[in-house]
Structure 1
Amino acid sequence: MPVRRISVRFGPRTVRTVLVAFNFRAHDEGCYSQRLDRAFKHGGGGPRRSGTGSPLPAVLRASGGRSDTVCLCHRRHLTVLDSVSGIRDRQEGTVAFGMFNSGQYVLSGLIPAFRALYPNIHVRVIGSNSAQVADLVRAGRLEAGVVALPIDARGLTMGDVLWSCEAAYFHTKPALTEPVTIEGLLQRPLVLPDSGWAQNDPTRRQLSERAQTVGMPFIPDIEVETGAAALAIAASGTAAAVASVPVAEALGYTNRLNYVSLDPPLIETFAIISRDPASLSPATQAMIKLAEEHMRMLHRQYQPT
């Protein structure tokens, strides 16, 4: 079922949903359907922004304003998770899951969805970079994680690529509207995240390879640890940043900064890795299933053209 942004109008008010896949409570289906019907018919008790206590924080797209379609998404979601036997009855435990730093912005709905279904399972999200997540999984310190590609895949089992999106050039120059080549990128002040992982970072590896083809060294003018910090510096006008469009949108910078594609476009791809899929704990299996569904939805929204 495709996921799209929709605006649902309740009288004079319009609630614009944002993509936070599966970020809703696992209500009993009958009660859930009744609440949806009331929300769509009357509006006053209808969907509100996530965190307000509404039964519909961040409503799933594609409903077209119809509660039966949203309920279908809800039932399908529960069916996926019911296939992981036994975890729903667990009283305690911990799931540790790897995720690169910027992924925590766009996959923010993953953890609330897991906790809504398994409130007694503690969650630890670990990782500042995909290369670090790969090292932790390879060493057995994590069972699985979400990474950006490419990574060093030795000793790892790589899942299918579930999500791809474009990384763009974010800047404050209104006159710059054409795609930026690697030569143009290197001639302008540039800030990049993941300073602690330098050339092991997947996005930097792609940019470094492009620089090598034109015989130029790839050395950013400014290096910071997080994508949020890089975009904040770009917003100050000090330097431009190369960042994932979904991450920039999640942080609110697609409305504050100009951005253009690189030439050729830089496409980031994402997958789930593990060391031994056959020995994954039930909690990790459940987290992976949620992550897979979430990433597929993100892929449909940010499908590169």
Structure 2
Amino acid sequence: MTLNQLRAFVAAERLGSFTAAAAHLDIAQASVSELIRRLEEELDALLFVRGSRRLSLTAAGAELLPYARESIAAADEGTRAVTSLGSLGGGTATFGVLRNADFYLLGNLVQTFHRKYPAVRVRLVGQNSAETAAAISAGEIEAGLVVLPVDEDDLIITPLMQDEVLYVSSDPERVAEPITVEEFAQRRLVLYDAHFGWRDPTRRQLADRAQLAGVRIEPLIEIEHVEAALKLVAAGIGDTIVGSALLSSPAFPPGLHTASFAEPLFDTIAFARKRGRPLSRATRKLARLAEDAISEVRGLEARPRS
């Protein structure tokens, strides 16, 4: 059973003859007759009573008619949806962003995209990079920005920029010189991303360095959000780490001081998508806007800091 057969059947019933159905479908009358014949043969049932001036349905034809109409309507609706998506007159863009997206000029991403493509629905998911990578791999979102490293082998990874990770303290003496991983492990630490812990990409880099140095990093306090960690550091409770993009944010409290690691540490921000799965046009456009925002941050980071 094909859509062409069902279209011929529905048109013949509505217009009352194979000739009128052929004109409506812009095909030969013989083609309509053949489509109906094959459909009847497949169903092993007559669908029309022939011989009268106007076709009339048999009991089998009347039974088939509502299902045929539903099938055609569903196919047409699917065609319209895909066509709308291709023209960005509809569809849905699904994209994962860094949980601290605002620090990378991504806060206005949805507004910018919506102004350009107001008919497209947007699903923007902000979460830890480990979770974003898993969601892309599972097909829950199409693509996203992640901090490397991530473990998903079925992803295509395109690095976009490096953001230096800095040590942060309220005590200026602690940041007078670059800090070694051994010194870092001895400090009273307030680390964020508590849920993912050492699965977090930045923390994974620190853990690898600590292992090579023969030390263990054990934070005094673990919480979820970097903003909360910085407030605790400002209160003198402990020290933490941040990406350099955060330094110009209002979330970075006054009176805090930073230092590089003795062996500089960097977050590599990358674009990730699933291997072998083409992106919808809407998501490609959203990804391009996100990459443009990251490029702008990269340009700002290249400027000397005052």
Query: For the superposition of Structure 1 and Structure 2, which TM-score range results when normalised by the shorter chain?
Result: 0.5 to 0.7
Residues in 2 aligned to 1:163 and 1:172: alpha-carbon distance in whole angstroms: 28
Would the aligned equivalents of 1:94 and 1:123 in 2 still touch at CA under 8 Å?
Answer: yes
RMSD of Structure 2 on Structure 1 (CA): 2.2
Does the CA contact (< 8 Å) of 1:231 and 1:248 recur in 2? no
Give the 3-state SS of the residue equivalent to 1:97 in structure 2.
strand
The residue identity in structure 1 corresponding to 2:173 is A
Partners of 1:164 and 1:303 within 8 A in 2? no
> Cα deviations across residues 51-110 of structure 1 (Å, max 9, x unaligned)?
xxxxxxxxxxxxxxxxxxxxxxxxxxxxxxxxxx97695444332211221124322132
Q: CA deviation at 1:195?
A: 0.8
Unaligned runs of 5+ in 1: 1-84
**2:291 is equivalent to residue 299 of structure 1:** no
Alignment of 1:98-137 (within 5 A): 98-106=96-104, 107-137=106-136
Structure possessing the higher radius of gyration over alpha carbons: 2
Distance 1:231 1:173, change over 3 A: same
Per-residue Cα deviation, 1:132-172 (whole angstroms, up to 9, x for no partner)? 0000000110100000011113111112x111111101111
Residue 117 of structure 1, CA deviation = 1.0
**Alignment correspondent of 2:221:** 222
Is the helix fraction higher in 1 or 2?
A: 2
Aligned to 1:50: none
- Does residue 173 (structure 1) correspond to residue 171 (structure 2)? The answer is yes
Q: Quick check: 2:88–2:282 contact (8 Å CA) kept in 1?
A: no
Q: TM-score, normalised by structure 1?
A: 0.67
SS at match of 2:172: coil
Matching residue of 1:246: 245
- 1:31-69: CA deviation from partner (whole Å, max 9, x where unpaired): xxxxxxxxxxxxxxxxxxxxxxxxxxxxxxxxxxxxxxx
* Worse overlay, 199-208 or 218-227: 218-227
Deviation at 1:190, TM superposition (A): 0.7
Identity of aligned residues (%): 33
Corresponding position of 2:75 = none
Report the CA distance between 1:252 and its aligned residue: 3.8
Gaps of 5+ in 2: 1-82
**Aligned letter for 1:235?**
A
Partner of 1:58: none
Say whether the 8 Å CA contact 2:84–2:90 is kept in structure 1: no
Task: Pick closer, same or farther for the CA change 1:252–1:194 going to 2, 3 Å.
Answer: closer
User: CA separation of 1:110/1:277 partners in 2, compared to 1, >3 Å: closer, same or farther?
Assistant: farther
Residue aligning to 2:193: 194
Query: What is the alpha-carbon distance in structure 1 between the residues aligned to residue 254 and residue 110 of structure 2?
Result: 26
Whether contact under 8 Å (1:164, 1:302) holds in the other structure is no
SS of corresponding position for 2:173: coil
Cα separation, 2, equivalents of 1:104 and 1:144: 18
Conserved 8 A contact 2:231-2:253 = no
Query: For the structure 1 residues 138 and 100, does the alpha-carbon distance in structure 2 shift closer, same or farther, using more than 3 Å as the test?
Result: same
Letter in 1 for 2:202: T
- What SS does structure 2 have at the residue aligned with 1:168? strand
Amino acid at match of 1:179: P
The answer to whether the 8 Å contact 1:192/1:242 transfers is yes
Partners of 2:303 and 2:148 lie apart in 1 by 16
Decide whether the 8 Å contact of 2:147 with 2:270 is kept in 1: yes
DSSP 3-state at the match of 2:162: strand
User: Is 1:269 the equivalent of 2:268?
Assistant: yes
The alpha-carbon deviation at position 129 of structure 1 amounts to 0.5
Letter in 2 for 1:169: Y
Distance 1:266 1:254, change over 3 A: farther
Contact 1:245 1:254 in 2 (8 A): no
Distance 1:134 1:282, change over 3 A: same
Given that residues 191 and 230 in structure 1 are in contact (C-alpha distance below 8 angstroms), is that contact kept between their aligned partners in structure 2? yes
Task: Name the counterpart of 2:153.
Answer: 154
Aligned length: 220
Q: Is the 8 A contact 1:147 1:273 kept in 2?
A: yes
Whole-Å separation in 2 of the counterparts to 1:245 and 1:130: 18
Secondary structure of 1:175's match? helix
Runs of 4+ in 1 over 6 A off after TM superposition: none
Residue by residue over 1:201-254, the C-alpha shift from the partner in whole angstroms, topping out at 9 and shown as x without a partner, is 110011001111121122211111122122122111111111112124224416
Amino acid at match of 1:142: I
Greater shift, 268-277 or 102-111, is seen at 102-111
